[in-house]
Structure 1
Amino acid sequence: MSIPRLYLETPLAEGAEVEAAPGQAHHIGTVLRRGAGDAVRVFNARDGEFAARIASIRKDRARFVLEGRVRDAAPEPELRLLVAVLKRDAMDWVVEKATELGATLIQPVVTRRTIAERTKAERLAAIARGAAEQCERLSVPEVRDALPLHRVLDSWDGARLVVAMERSLAAPLRALPPAHPLALLIGPEGGFEAAELDDLRRRPFVVPAALGPRILRAETAAVAGLAALQAIVGDWT
C-alpha cells in the first residue's frame, strides 16, 4: 500500500504536530480509508518532505505528527505557463500535466479567440495540489485568475516568454539558449489573431518558437512545449 503524500503550507519540522489542510481529512479517512497511527508523508517546497503519522482523524479534521525528514528542499528552475483559457476538461488536464512537468506558475489568459473566458483559480489550484502530491514534487505551482493577455503582457517582468506560433518560420525550441526564468505562451484553439501576433512580436521579451510541423491542439501544445523546455533548458538536462 502506497503512503499518501500531503502538501501543507504550514511550517514543518521534526517532532511537530500539524493540522491537516481543508479537505485532506475527508480524503485520507473516507477515500483512502486511513486511520490514526497510519503513515503519511507531508511536504512543501520550503521545508522538504517528512515521514509522519496520523495522530487523530475525524470527518473534517486531522492532525499529523512529523517524524524524520526524508527529502530536503531543493531549488527548481522557474518555468511559467501562460495558456489561453480552454474548456473545463481540457483546462483541468493542462493544469494537471503542467504540474507534473514542473511548471511553477500557471496563468490562464483571455485572447480574442478564447472560447471559454471563465475559470476558477481555486478549483484549478486544487487540481495542481493533487497532481503535485501524486508526482512527488515538493512544490505546487501558483495558479492565478484568468486575465486578458494584453494586461499580462503589459505588467510582464521581462522574463523570456517563448510564444508557440503555428506555421511560423520561427526557430525550433532546441535553438533556445539557457535562460531563467522562462515562460511559455500557448494560444487558443483558433490561434492568435494577427493584431495579437503583431503585439507579441513588438515585445522585447518575446521569443517566437515553432513546435514542429504539425498543428497541435492547445492542450497538446502546452504539454509538448513544457516537456521540450524541460528537456532542453530545464531540470531534465
Structure 2
Amino acid sequence: MSFIPRIYLDPHEFEALASNKDYAIPASTAHYLGTVLRLKASEKVVFFNERDGEWECEISYIAKNKGTIQTTKQLRLSITPLGPTLVFAPLKRDATDLAIRMATELGVKTIQPVKTLRTNTVKIKEERFRSITIEAAEQSNRLTIPEIKPIVSLFDFCSSWPKDKTLWIAVERCAEYHIEPNSTEKCRGDDGILIGPEGGFDSSEIKNLLLYDFVRPLSLGNLILKAETAIVAGLSLFSQHVRA
C-alpha cells in the first residue's frame, strides 16, 4: 500500500524504541491498525514520539486487540519540543476542537486555556484535547504533542508568565484604545500569543494587560475575526516571522 499510517506512541506508557527489536503494541493501536485500517502482517507502519523520534516498522502479527511490530529503520531523531504558547479563552465545543487541531498543526508547544470576563465555557476536558492533538500530530507530520495546561484565570496566568518572554495579545480595534500595534518581526519562537473570547476582551482587561512590561499588542488586520479564525491568523503570522 502507498499510504503508511503514522501512529503516536505515548513515551510514558511505551518502552523506548530501538533498531530491529520486536514490540507488543497497545490493544487500541492493534484494533485501529487491524480492524479499522485492515492492515496485515508484513505491512509498514510509522511510529513516533518526542523521546524516540520516528521509526518505520513492520507488522509481525496483528489480531483484533493485539499485535506485534518490528522496528526496521529510524526515519527521524528525537527532538526537544519547541514552539510558542497559545493562550486562549475556550469557545463552544466544535470551535474549541478546531482551534486545538489548528494550533497543533501550526506548531504550538503549549496550549493554555484561560478564563476571561467573556469566556463562554470553563469546562475543559484535557483528555479530549490530548486526543485531538495526537490526531493532528499524526496527520501533520510533527513529532511532538503540545502540552495541555489546566484552565486558570487570565491574570493568574499573567502573574506566572516568565518576564523575559513576550506575550503578544491580539487586540481588536486598536485605534479605539489608542494602541499602536507591534510588528511580530521581533517575536521569538518561545513567545506566547493570547487570543480573546468570542466578543473580544473587556476594555478593563485590555487596560490591565497593557500594564505588564512583557505584553505587546498585536493587530490581525482591520476585519473582526471569529475567535477560532483569530487563533489561526495569529499563529500563522507568528510562525511566518519566526521561520524568517
Q: Which structure 1 segments of 5+ residues have no match?
A: none
Say which of 190, 196, 199 aligns to 1:187. 196
Q: CA deviation at 1:180?
A: 3.8
For residues 22 and 81 of structure 1, the distance between their equivalents in structure 2, rounded to whole angstroms, comes to 33
In 2, are the aligned partners of 1:167 and 1:213 still within 8 Å (CA)? yes
> What is the identity percentage for the equivalent residue pairs of Structure 1 and Structure 2?
39
In 1, are the aligned partners of 2:89 and 2:119 still within 8 Å (CA)? yes
Query: Which residue number in structure 1 is paired with residue 233 of structure 2?
Result: 224
Q: CA deviation at 1:78?
A: 2.2
Q: CA deviation at 1:94?
A: 0.7
Q: CA deviation at 1:196?
A: 1.4
SS at match of 2:32: helix
Q: Which structure 2 segments of 5+ residues have no match?
A: none
Query: Which residue number in structure 1 is paired with residue 5 of structure 2?
Result: 4
Query: Which residue number in structure 1 is paired with residue 162 of structure 2?
Result: 157
Q: Deviations over 1:154-198 (max 9, x none)?
A: 221232111000011455564431424111110001111122112
Query: Which residue number in structure 1 is paired with residue 34 of structure 2?
Result: 29
For the pair shown, which has the larger CA radius of gyration, 1 or 2? 2
For residues 20 and 129 of structure 1, the distance between their equivalents in structure 2, rounded to whole angstroms, comes to 17
Q: Deviations over 1:6-32 (max 9, x none)?
A: 111242221233343563222222221
For residues 77 and 39 of structure 1, the distance between their equivalents in structure 2, rounded to whole angstroms, comes to 29
Alignment of 1:28-177 (within 5 A): 28-74=33-79, 77-158=82-163, 159-169=165-175, 170-171=179-180, 174-177=183-186
SS at match of 1:60: coil
SS at match of 1:64: strand
- C-alpha RMSD of the superposition: 1.9
In 2, are the aligned partners of 1:79 and 1:182 still within 8 Å (CA)? yes
Task: Give the TM-score normalised by the residue count of structure 1.
Answer: 0.91
Structure 2 counterpart of 1:49, one-letter code = E
Structure 1 counterpart of 2:190, one-letter code = P
SS at match of 2:98: helix
